[in-house]
Structure 1
């Protein structure tokens, strides 16, 4: 065989061996995926490296992700970056704009998130929670502020002699106005007729008999009504009524709140107030709120909300950053990554790795061809030189 042909054959054979060797070495990373046996004999290097060491790879990858890639410090630093904060602000402002221009009602918007049954249950829980919170908060305020022994005059803003006089005059005018309206009404006229008849019946004797014969009750009422109305409109009646109200206000102003409420309601003050809070028609208010358009809730306050968004963003990000270590500890990121890697199909993993590193793997194969060819060249030349 000529020397040049010997050199060419050696190069081709060595290059083929080097390429095939590297090709199968790469394939053996993933194949075979299950161990092979010939009888009881276990074929070496089966399964492939990645299927065989899958659990170890998953555990190592979980540790790497938790200790170097996704750390609490790194997430906190990311959240506190101005770019991230600006994105959150833009998202919140966009959300406010969408609500401000939305044609949806509260109920329609809620039904996009929850089913109708879930929404009704949520409203019931919300009403119960608000009622319970209000009762608990009021009871705590009543106890800590000592409202039961607090005088009424200290609880009412602007309690002074001048204000009491003004309040008494206003109440007197309103009260006498109500009395006047009642007297002039049909019911008031019937009441006056009954009073006149009762007065004549009580007179008795000859005078009562004569009055019953010669006096007409309706005419008497017609004559009494203007006199009563004029008396009610008189300054004396207003002043006396105002003085009576003012004296009562002064008396009640010195009484403790609990005592005054018990006097007015006939019940223990805290229990009465708690009962009134429990009777708040929260469910009916929520039903009425169902048909309110979202934009009517946001539009009047849009400027104030937009101005409050930066401060809200800062507080939310600070709260999230503070809770990240606890959340990551609760999530158990290494265990989560390990579990997900173990569930990941080897076939899919091979596709991912080849899609990313397919060119590099082919380069490694051709590198084997090149190195094999070089080795074949040197080997053939060395053998020819040695004779």
Structure 2
């Protein structure tokens, strides 16, 4: 064979081998997507390199991105940039404007977080009122009146009770001295002289009913106004008052009475603290002056606090977000065909150059081999 043709033939064969080898190597990065088996044994180089190392590569890529690219320091620096400051401020202004123009309520935001959350809060709040009132009521049920009453109220009642005997006596004197008192005494004297035996009836022959009534009235007034009588009244009143003070509430009321009282208190509290009405009140109506102050000044403090808090807790936030795990899951869920297409589109020119380089190197190796064969 002609030496030149032999060298060219070997160069052609070498170029084909080099080019096809590189082409197959590039294809084997992705293909086949799944392992192939022959007689129950997995064939070598199946699946392709990337499918085989997909989970390991996705985990490494997630660690690289979160460990060296999207680090807490990067986010913190970005948060403190003028662009982010302006963006956050614009977002807050938009939210304030929406709240004001659309008269949004706390209930609106609660429902955005979770449907039915307003009803749950209302039920929970009312149930908490019921539980707390019932709990405190049951505690009070076993305590004495003296222990339950506030000191100021107890002192006021003590002062009233101390003068109660004198007050009662004054009322009795006014009553007995009045025409009504005289009439009632006259009626009792008449009943006495007519219906209480001979001795009582004989009194009407000695004294007239009017004189007898006047005498009884006079004696009653003298008896009532005696200091000794007042002291007796005062002692009896104080004894009974002290007994009441030392009595437990359960001695004075039944469980049914307690339930009625507690239910009344619960009803009043739930009506006075209407949590549903509060949650359905436009935020701007809670306190107009406070809302205007926030709109003009407070929003800047909110923005600064958000940036400061986010910056200080960025590491914790990123740990909670588990970005590395998220990146890994996203890569693992990405279809291999789409990934291959994406890589090929991005590195198409480079892959073509690799294949061309395979042809060139293969051709050079073929020429060298042909020359060596000719000389040896």
Deviation at 1:24, TM superposition (A): 0.8
Q: Report matched runs for 1:65-104 at 5 Å.
A: 65-102=65-102
Deviation at 1:61, TM superposition (A): 2.3
Relative to structure 1, the CA distance from residue 37 to residue 105 in structure 2 (aligned partners, 3 Å threshold; closer, same or farther) is closer
Query: Deviation digits for residues 42-71 of structure 1, max 9, x if unmatched?
Result: 432222112222333233223323321233
Query: Deviation digits for residues 236-263 of structure 1, max 9, x if unmatched?
Result: xxxxxxxxxxxxxxxxxxxxxxxxxxx9
Query: Deviation digits for residues 342-365 of structure 1, max 9, x if unmatched?
Result: 444433432332343333323322
Partner of 1:124: 123
Query: Deviation digits for residues 161-209 of structure 1, max 9, x if unmatched?
Result: xxxxxxxxxxxxxxxxxxxxxxxxxxxxxxxxxx99x95434559xxxx
Q: Say which of 287, 290, 293 aligns to 1:304.
A: 293
Give the TM-score, by structure 2 length: 0.54
Relative to structure 1, the CA distance from residue 312 to residue 112 in structure 2 (aligned partners, 3 Å threshold; closer, same or farther) is closer
Say which is worse superposed, 36-45 or 370-379, in terms of deviation.
370-379
CA distance in structure 2 between the aligned counterparts of 1:379 and 1:317, rounded to whole angstroms? 69
Deviation at 1:95, TM superposition (A): 0.9
* Larger CA Rg, structure 1 vs 2: 2
Query: Deviation digits for residues 113-164 of structure 1, max 9, x if unmatched?
Result: 432x33201333356679999xxxxxxxxxxxxxxxx999xxxxxxxxxxxx
Q: Say which of 278, 285, 289 aligns to 2:274.
A: 285
Q: Report matched runs for 1:254-273 at 5 Å.
A: none
Deviation at 1:296, TM superposition (A): 4.3
Question: Alpha carbon RMSD of aligned pairs, Å?
Answer: 4.9
Q: Does the 8 Å CA contact 2:22/2:355 hold for their aligned counterparts? A: yes
Question: Helix, strand or coil for the counterpart of 2:347?
Answer: helix
Query: Deviation digits for residues 270-322 of structure 1, max 9, x if unmatched?
Result: xxxxx989953378533334554455458755542231112112212222233
Relative to structure 1, the CA distance from residue 310 to residue 353 in structure 2 (aligned partners, 3 Å threshold; closer, same or farther) is same
Q: Report matched runs for 1:31-42 at 5 Å.
A: 31-39=31-39, 42=42
Q: Does the 8 Å CA contact 2:16/2:359 hold for their aligned counterparts? A: yes
Q: Say which of 186, 201, 205 aligns to 2:180.
A: 201
Relative to structure 1, the CA distance from residue 29 to residue 320 in structure 2 (aligned partners, 3 Å threshold; closer, same or farther) is same
CA distance in structure 2 between the aligned counterparts of 1:379 and 1:121, rounded to whole angstroms? 85
Q: Does the 8 Å CA contact 1:100/1:302 hold for their aligned counterparts? A: no
Matched, 1:351 2:330: no
Deviation at 1:26, TM superposition (A): 0.8
Number of positions where the alignment pairs a residue of Structure 1 with one of Structure 2? 270
Q: Report matched runs for 1:139-288 at 5 Å.
A: 199-202=178-181, 204=183, 280-281=269-270, 285-288=274-277
CA distance in structure 2 between the aligned counterparts of 1:130 and 1:93, rounded to whole angstroms? 37
CA distance in structure 1 between the aligned counterparts of 2:321 and 2:288, rounded to whole angstroms? 40
Matched, 1:323 2:313: yes
Relative to structure 1, the CA distance from residue 33 to residue 102 in structure 2 (aligned partners, 3 Å threshold; closer, same or farther) is same
Q: Which runs of 5+ in 1 are unaligned?
A: 134-149, 153-194, 206-262, 268-274
Question: Helix, strand or coil for the counterpart of 2:31?
Answer: coil
Relative to structure 1, the CA distance from residue 126 to residue 69 in structure 2 (aligned partners, 3 Å threshold; closer, same or farther) is farther
Relative to structure 1, the CA distance from residue 42 to residue 120 in structure 2 (aligned partners, 3 Å threshold; closer, same or farther) is closer
Matched, 1:365 2:352: no
Give the TM-score, by structure 1 length: 0.53
Partner of 2:206: none
Relative to structure 1, the CA distance from residue 363 to residue 151 in structure 2 (aligned partners, 3 Å threshold; closer, same or farther) is farther
Matched, 1:313 2:303: yes
CA distance in structure 2 between the aligned counterparts of 1:355 and 1:80, rounded to whole angstroms? 37
Question: Helix, strand or coil for the counterpart of 2:274?
Answer: helix
